[in-house]
Amino acid sequence: MKITEIKVIVCSPGRNFTTVKIITDEGVYGIGDGTVNGRELAVVSYLQDHIAPTLIGKDPLRTEDIWQYLYKGAYWRRGPITMAAIAAIDMALWDIKAKVAGMPLYQLLGGRSRDKVMVYKHVGGLDIPEVVEGVLKLKEQGLEAIRAQVSIPGLPPIYGTGPSTDQAAGGMIKPMVTEEVWATHKYLPLVPKLFDKLRDAVGWDVHLLHDVHHRLTPIEAARLGKDLEPYRLFWLEDAIPAELQEGFRLIRQHTTQPLAVGEVFNSIYDTTTLISEQLIDYIRVTAVHAGGVTGIKKIFDYASIYHVKSACHGPMDMSPATMGANIHVDTAISNFGIQEFTGYTKETYDVFKCDWRYDRGYLYPNETPGHGTDIDEDLAAKYPYQAAYLPVARLEDGSMTSW
């Protein structure tokens, strides 16, 4: 079997997605996701101009060798664009391999370690009562794990705090960069008040999570973690900018609050200090941003030695192909923790055909061969790329934040 063609498909059915389709001389093909939200076209160029020409004629079943070839062959290793491009190829190759084997992907990764994959979804609100109401609604829908965020009084809602836009058509697609305002001293006393009200409302049977979005210093995060201990959060996510792994040592010294980080990581080398020193409890790398199935399997196997669990990032700005790959890894590994899942717009589900499924707080892998996601190219062409930028934040005095 040989690779004969590699297509790169860019479409925007609610969000922008960069999709790879690898076609073989035996008619078997595979789908992979290379989306980097806000930098989609950089990955397109990397794939079309630098990767695709080097893979024509190669054996698609040599997944490990091709992964190493792409990683080491670039010389300028790692980085979000390189690793997303590698991820797209790797995901598609594993899809092909599983189809050739006639098995769902998880069978090639060791078979089932569990029957279903627990997920969490998001609730945001302008004030605490609105968030409490939203959390109760998700609980009624069968969710056992819910992330809660609230806007800071006196400031406009900003990314990751206010009413959730996860299901909104268009999502984070913005024609220009928007600037937002952040105030740590107003945020720190607010969050414990939110979770005090949430525990009163939902009791102790629901896992509650919170995402800081990298907005604190280590000592500020330590203070917040200590203040949240009475409410026993499932985790405190992205408490500080993730580049400074050593900063988590300070947080660990002051709180027993479980910690999660890693959605912006793109290789195992980003995780070594955090995992080996057991400074975190959940590692949030995801297939599209950390080198595909091959990349995250390496990280999760390493993490298992140190009692660190998986928690794949899973917002709407990674395609259903990534979600399919994540679900199969989640199903197979021994140290699974939880899977983020915000769902997708109807338009996205129309373009991407999914055999995996969601039901009342759990994801279930497909039993069909492959990772269970395909793309309708004709329909995708009806949703052309749109300029997309994530927001940036400034402090109230107008200066850029440290994150």
Active site residue 213: yes
Closest by CA to 370, choosing from 26, 109, 132, 20, is 109
Q: Which residues of 38-76 are buried (b: 16+ CB within 10 A; e: fewer)?
A: bbbebbbebbeeebbeebeeeebeebeebbebbbeebee
Beta pairing partners, 236:
210, 259
Q: Is 315 exposed, middle or buried (0-12, 13-18, 19+ CB in 10 A)?
A: middle
Which residue among the candidates 50, 69, 159, 302 is catalytic per the annotation? 159
- Active-site option among 213, 306, 358, 389: 213
Strand partners, 3: 24
DSSP string over 34-53: ---TT-HHHHHHIIIIIIHH
Most distant CA atoms of the chain, gap in Å: 62
Beta bridge partners of 29: 23
Q: Are 225 and 255 in contact (CB under 8 A)?
A: yes
The reply to whether 159 belongs to the active site is: yes
d(CA 82, CA 66) in angstroms, rounded, equals 14
Residues assigned a catalytic role? 159, 213
